[in-house]
């Protein structure tokens, strides 16, 4: 199966492939330390398999640093099958423990002795900031520890020379997302899944009884989980350690809760981080909030403390992919390390894997705590990073409506429309656009049933309260159709005129993109279309040019992953069974490829990488070999349009015939369940933030144009908003034309194809993996942005 496009290699140099790096003679130790987090197993699996793939020996160091100090059976060599079937398991199979002994030099002396005897001089540490700080100290002392061991006669003299330095690479596993320098830590997304499941469940009972619920979530020093879950469920109030409520919050909160009830809202949700404090650093407990609400308002109020539920359960698709990418990246970093390389952390910025100096990140993480202790709360929020700051700003804008007389009217009318197939998260995007628009002083109009409804005049003003409770709803409440505007340009122009629409926000998939192109082309003929227009990508297929991600794809990916987990259990129960699963996506292989990475598939057939009968044959042989091991099951994903002739049935029949006597076959077409369901936390949050940003862009464009009769005719007034690598970009839709394969409705270049070799390597295939992007250690202050972009945090 072909090489990966390496055109993104660093300027002027040849692409550098994994084949140029060798792990021969190297030994890597992997440990999980501190609090557990979902996705740690996926990281361990990736480190083990990637390590073995490049020829290194990989050792499990069980029970964290305690196991390193105790040695013996705690340090065991891992093989390929040791990490089979752990991708979908929460927690960590190699155990984690808090360790006092490692804090003392004697403890570290024992640990060094245990490692050196096995020749382990590369450590991959998965844990929080405490674990990583410990690893860095160990690295600094390493040489001194070995000399002391040699002096005491515990190791040979030449071992000191031979193993003179220790390389350390860290991955942050922590559900709190409390580590600076990385947008998302391993486990955060899964913890949000647990919280949102609970909130969705509580909302139905709260509505039945008109109750107020106070929900306490984890986060002793970091309010990320509380903030994002508040954003994702539209909570009425949120308490965070980094941003305490202003003095007099008690009255403000009660006023807001009673206002909401007056507007016929039957429930209130208040989310509290366990470390919530007031401006005087005094704790605000969930019980205290409940007492306040009962005393002041007399509302029926209940407290729910989520506790360790948030750490448990299966990791989300996002965490599995994140951990797998980071694990592979960590091994590459260890192979490239020299004695001069400082300890680094592999992390995610936007959609881009980066390496950052470990101690700079730890320092900054500690600075946040210091700022909070010194009551410099503005600094604390800023140090938490752009993701946190952006979330807080968006939450404040969407949660509290200013009284009408406080909002400066813009006298502009802005319409919101959904186009294409439904995607989970569309409603969160509509809610966010409507509320930001109203806060900016516009009149907001909802267009029902896509361009079809637009042409028929299905347009209605939509107010702040109308979109309450929309974030958790799947599908599209406004209704959506695949109809393109081309056939109805006259009628749509007429409706734009009669409602005096000054700007248009389109939320949808590839049809929305085509529609935007048609509207751009029609500007010459119809001056009604000479207004700012922006499109926010929302489709499960993730095939819109101009963005790495689209709303709805994460939810679909989780559906696929959940289903694959169940199917794998069924297959391993019956033994020697291979499942072939067909995913959606049109011609775009994103769901099949990323689903394969998240579910641990043996192969994924996609349109973007042509395959022939020889590839199918080699896959069958690969599975036949696999059935001889202890892992007697197979999982193969196929994108619905990957090939005209190699259909799902054809592949199923071929596998059945070729596997006779070795394995039997079953097939499964996932179908429209991938479009439905309640949106994942990622899609709610992404939809909310990207749509709010689109609305701010519209406001900026409209500023000062009102009453002047200004016509917007330039290309940059009709854009697609998307995330590319680390940047949030508004790209003129006409400029994206040259990057589009219109016949197959996909972008000509797709970032995720670079991750394709990862799936193959982790499934024990040889593959060419381009590591040109990886090797640079960046500093934390280095916020790389292209000239016209702005940093995108996920």
- Is residue 176 part of the annotated active site? The answer reads yes
User: Contact at 8 Å (CB) between 735 and 719?
Assistant: no
User: Contact at 8 Å (CB) between 293 and 251?
Assistant: no
Cα gap 304→298, rounded to integer Å: 18
Q: What angle do CA 769, 772, 777 make, to 5 degrees?
A: 125
User: Contact at 8 Å (CB) between 344 and 169?
Assistant: yes
User: Contact at 8 Å (CB) between 508 and 707?
Assistant: no
Rounded to 10 degrees, what is the CA torsion of 572, 577, 583, 588?
110
Cα gap 736→248, rounded to integer Å: 51
Q: Residue 653 is encoded by which pair of tokens?
A: 């029949």
Q: Is 439 helix (H, G, I), strand (E, B) or coil?
A: helix
H runs (alpha helix) in 268-357: 286-297, 317-336
Q: Which residues pair with 352 in a beta bridge?
A: 349
Residue 385: exposure state from Cβ atoms within 10 A (0-12, 13-18, ≥19): buried
Annotated active-site residue in 36, 70, 176, 178:
176
Helices 188-209/317-336 angle, 10° precision: 160
| Alpha carbon distances (Å) from 551 to 351, 387, 682 | 15, 18, 9
CA atoms within 13 A on the CB side of 102: 27
Residues 6+ apart with CB under 8 A from 52: 58, 78, 79, 80
User: Contact at 8 Å (CB) between 347 and 793?
Assistant: no
CA atoms within 13 A on the CB side of 427: 23
Q: Which residues pair with 353 in a beta bridge?
A: 348
| Alpha carbon distances (Å) from 280 to 110, 245, 252 | 45, 10, 18
User: Contact at 8 Å (CB) between 148 and 284?
Assistant: no
Residue 376: exposure state from Cβ atoms within 10 A (0-12, 13-18, ≥19): middle
Letter string b/e over residues 481-495, b meaning 16 or more CB atoms within 10 A of that residue's CB: bbbbbeebbeebbeb
**Phi, psi for residue 176 in degrees, rounded to 5:** -75, -15
Residue that the structure tokens 């994994």 belong to = 18
* DSSP conformation letters of 654-711: HHHHHTTTT-EEEEEE-GGGGT-SPPPHHHHHHHHHHHHHHHHHHHHHHTTTTTTT--
299 alpha-carbon distance from chain centroid: 37
**Phi, psi for residue 370 in degrees, rounded to 5:** -65, -45
* DSSP conformation letters of 178-237: --TT-S--BTHHHHHHHHHHHHHHHHHHHHHHT-EEEEEES-SS--HHHHHHHHHHT-SE
Residues 6+ apart with CB under 8 A from 212: 206, 257, 267, 268, 269, 270, 293, 299, 300, 301, 302
Instruction: Point out the residues that are catalytic.
Output: 176
């Amino acid at each position: 199966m072909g090489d990966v496009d390496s055109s993104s290699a660093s300027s002027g140099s040849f692409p550098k492939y994994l084949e140029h790096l060798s792990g021969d003679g190297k030994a890597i130790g992997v440990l999980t330390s501190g609090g557990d987090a979902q996705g740690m197993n996926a990281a361990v699996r990736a480190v083990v398999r990637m390590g073995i793939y490049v020829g290194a020996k990989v050792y499990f160091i069980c029970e964290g640093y305690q196991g390193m100090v105790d040695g013996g059976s705690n340090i065991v060599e891992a093989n390929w099958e040791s990490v089979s079937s752990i991708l979908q398991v929460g927690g960590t199979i190699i155990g984690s423990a808090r360790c006092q002994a490692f804090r003392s030099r004697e403890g570290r002396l024992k640990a060094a002795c245990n490692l050196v005897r096995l020749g382990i001089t590369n450590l991959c540490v998965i844990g929080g900031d405490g674990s990583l700080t410990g690893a860095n100290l160990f690295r600094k002392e390493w040489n001194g520890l070995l000399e002391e061991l040699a002096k005491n006669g515990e190791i040979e003299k030449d071992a000191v020379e031979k193993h003179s330095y220790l390389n350390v690479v860290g991955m942050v596993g922590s559900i709190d997302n409390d580590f600076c320098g990385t947008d998302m830590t391993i486990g955060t997304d899964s913890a949000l899944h647990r919280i949102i499941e609970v909130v969705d469940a509580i909302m139905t009972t709260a509505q039945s009884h008109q109750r107020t619920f106070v929900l306490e979530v984890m986060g002793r020093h970091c309010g990320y989980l509380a903030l994002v879950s508040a954003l994702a469920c539209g909570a009425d109030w949120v308490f965070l350690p980094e941003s305490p409520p202003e003095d007099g919050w008690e009255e403000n909160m009660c006023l807001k809760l009673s206002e909401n009830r007056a507007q016929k809202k039957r429930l209130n949700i208040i989310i509290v981080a366990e470390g919530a404090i007031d401006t005087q650093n005094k704790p605000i407990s969930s019980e205290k909030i409940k007492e306040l609400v009962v005393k002041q308002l007399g509302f029926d109020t209940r407290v729910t403390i989520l506790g360790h539920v948030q750490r448990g359960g299966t990791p989300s698709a996002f965490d599995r992919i994140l951990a797998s990418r980071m694990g592979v990246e960590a091994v590459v970093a260890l192979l490239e390390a020299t004695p001069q390389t400082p300890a680094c952390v592999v992390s995610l910025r936007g959609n881009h894997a980066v390496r950052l100096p470990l101690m700079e990140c730890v320092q900054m993480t500690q600075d946040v705590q210091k700022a909070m202790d010194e009551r410099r709360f503005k600094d604390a929020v800023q140090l938490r990073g752009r993701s946190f700051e952006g979330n807080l700003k968006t939450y404040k804008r969407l949660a509290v409506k200013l009284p009408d007389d406080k909002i400066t009217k813009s006298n502009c009318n802005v319409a919101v429309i959904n186009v294409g197939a439904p995607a989970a998260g569309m409603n969160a995007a509509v809610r966010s656009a409507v509320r930001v628009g109203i806060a900016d002083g516009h009149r907001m109009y909802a267009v029902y049933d896509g361009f079809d409804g637009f042409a028929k005049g299905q347009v209605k003003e939509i107010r702040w309260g109308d979109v309450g409770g929309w974030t958790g709803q799947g599908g599209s409440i406004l209704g959506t159709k695949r109809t393109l505007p081309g056939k109805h340009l006259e009628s749509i122009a007429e409706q734009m005129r009669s409602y005096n629409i000054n700007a248009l926000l389109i939320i949808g998939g590839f049809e929305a993109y085509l529609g935007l192109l048609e509207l751009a082309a029609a500007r010459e003929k119809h001056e009604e279309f000479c207004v700012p227009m922006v499109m926010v990508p929302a489709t499960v297929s993730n095939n819109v040019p101009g963005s790495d991600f689209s709303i709805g794809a994460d939810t679909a990916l989780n559906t696929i992953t959940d289903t694959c987990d169940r199917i794998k259990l069924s297959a391993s129960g019956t033994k020697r069974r291979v499942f072939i699963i067909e995913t959606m996506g049109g011609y775009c292989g994103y769901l099949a490829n990323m689903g394969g990475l998240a579910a641990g598939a043996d192969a994924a057939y996609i349109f973007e990488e042509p395959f022939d009968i020889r590839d199918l044959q080699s896959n069958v042989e690969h599975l036949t070999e696999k059935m001889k091991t202890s892992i007697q099951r197979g999982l193969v994903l196929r994108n619905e349009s990957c090939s005209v002739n190699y259909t799902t049935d054809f592949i199923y029949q071929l596998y059945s015939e070729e596997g006779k006597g070795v394995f039997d076959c079953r097939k499964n077409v996932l179908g429209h369940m991938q479009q439905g369901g309640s949106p994942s936390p990622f899609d709610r949050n992404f939809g909310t933030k990207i749509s709010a940003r689109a609305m701010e862009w519209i406001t900026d464009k409209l500023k000062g144009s009102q009453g002047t009769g200004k016509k917007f005719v330039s290309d940059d007034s009709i854009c697609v908003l998307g995330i590319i690598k680390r940047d949030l970009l508004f790209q003129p839709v006409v400029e994206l034309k040259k990057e589009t394969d219109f016949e197959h409705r996909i972008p000509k270049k797709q970032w995720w194809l670079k991750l394709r070799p990862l799936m193959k390597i982790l499934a024990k295939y040889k593959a060419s993996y381009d590591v040109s992007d990886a090797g640079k250690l960046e500093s934390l202050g280095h916020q790389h942005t292209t000239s016209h972009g702005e940093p995108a945090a996920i």
